[in-house]
């Protein structure tokens, strides 16, 4: 029987059974140098939105093989990588060897239960929301608010349905006959969707933007600092 999209743990463990499979599903290639360059781009976006400060504890939801964590950790106090897949976390552990301010945490796929309330400064999630149901995206936004300290910052992104290249992703996915859609197939968002999630979850100073005719992203601040 084919896997259900919402069975995230089993879906993502089977997609990451080998290093090559995991790299392909995370980035579409296995070139370590390009991995590093892509991660530098993600860092630039984080700098421009939530900011990166040496005293920050960062948490990534859906950290994969630590593509971002490896380049981000040297700039911050601590980096916590959370993922639903033990296979992904195993590969991340090898890539992060020697970075003593990093920690990996397996999560259920629906929440950040192992993380204490008010304990981190920045939560971000990148290249993950397209693989989740909308309700599960929103639940993570709420969980981010819970684990952030007052004044903490949150960032999320997804492919933008309203952008030209986002529409192409939608059309590509539409070509699959209903019974043959892969469980992890990308489902786009829009800037208003992400904005609504952050506002309903209680974030302040909510901002949205688009990038490269492809990405929608949103960021905000937990009130009460």
Ligand X SMILES: C[S@@+](CC[C@H](N)C(=O)[O-])C[C@H]1O[C@@H](n2cnc3c(N)ncnc32)[C@H](O)[C@@H]1O
Min dist CB 128 to ligand X, Å, is 4
Min dist CB 126 to ligand X, Å, is 5
Min dist CB 180 to ligand X, Å, is 20
CB atoms within 10 A of CB 155: 24
**Angle, vertex CA 89, rays to CA 85 and CA 90, nearest 5:** 115
Q: Which residues, including other chains, have CB under 8 Å from residue 211's CB and lie 6 or more apart?
A: 45, 217
Which lies closer to ligand X via its Cβ, residue 10 or residue 119?
Answer: 10
Min dist CB 204 to ligand X, Å, is 25
Which lies closer to ligand X via its Cβ, residue 62 or residue 220?
Answer: 62
Say if residues 192 and 130 touch (Cβ distance below 8 Å).
Answer: no
Distance between CA 100 and CA 49 in Å, rounded?
Answer: 26
Which lies closer to ligand X via its Cβ, residue 4 or residue 204?
Answer: 4
Query: Which parts of this chain interact with ligand X (CB under 6 A)?
Result: 8, 12, 26, 61-64, 67-68, 83-85, 88, 107, 109, 126-128, 131-132, 136
Nearest residue to ligand X, by Cβ distance, number only:
64
DSSP-assigned letter for residue 189: B
Min dist CB 225 to ligand X, Å, is 27
Distance between CA 89 and CA 118 in Å, rounded?
Answer: 24
- What's the length of the chain? 225
Token digits of residue 32: 């370590």
Q: What is the DSSP string of 113-124?
A: TTSPTT-EEEEE
Which lies closer to ligand X via its Cβ, residue 124 or residue 203?
Answer: 124
Min dist CB 151 to ligand X, Å, is 24
Which lies closer to ligand X via its Cβ, residue 6 or residue 224?
Answer: 6
Which lies closer to ligand X via its Cβ, residue 88 or residue 177?
Answer: 88
Which residue in 28, 65, 36, 49 sits closest to 211, CA to CA? 49
Helix axes 86-95, 19-27, angle to 10 degrees: 90
């Amino acid at each position: 029987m084919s896997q259900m999209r919402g069975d995230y743990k089993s879906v993502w463990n089977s997609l990451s059974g080998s290093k090559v499979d995991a790299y392909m599903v995370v980035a579409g290639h296995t070139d370590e140098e390009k991995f590093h360059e892509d991660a530098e781009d993600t860092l630039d976006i984080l700098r421009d939105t939530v900011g990166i400060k040496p005293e920050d504890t960062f948490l990534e939801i859906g950290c994969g093989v630590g593509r971002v964590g490896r380049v981000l950790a040297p700039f911050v106090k601590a980096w916590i990588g959370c993922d639903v897949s033990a296979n992904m976390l195993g590969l991340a552990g090898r890539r992060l060897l020697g970075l003593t301010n990093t920690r990996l945490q397996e999560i259920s796929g629906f929440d950040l239960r192992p993380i204490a309330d008010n304990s981190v400064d920045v939560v971000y999630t990148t290249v993950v929301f397209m693989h989740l149901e909308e309700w599960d995206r929103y639940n993570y936004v709420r969980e981010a608010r819970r684990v952030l300290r007052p004044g903490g910052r949150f960032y999320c992104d997804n492919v933008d349905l309203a952008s030209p290249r986002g529409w192409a992703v939608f059309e590509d996915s539409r070509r699959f006959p209903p019974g043959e859609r892969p469980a992890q197939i990308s489902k786009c968002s829009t800037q208003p969707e992400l904005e609504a999630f952050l506002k309903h979850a209680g974030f302040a100073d909510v901002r949205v933007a688009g990038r490269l005719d492809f990405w929608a992203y949103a960021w905000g601040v937990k009130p009460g600092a």
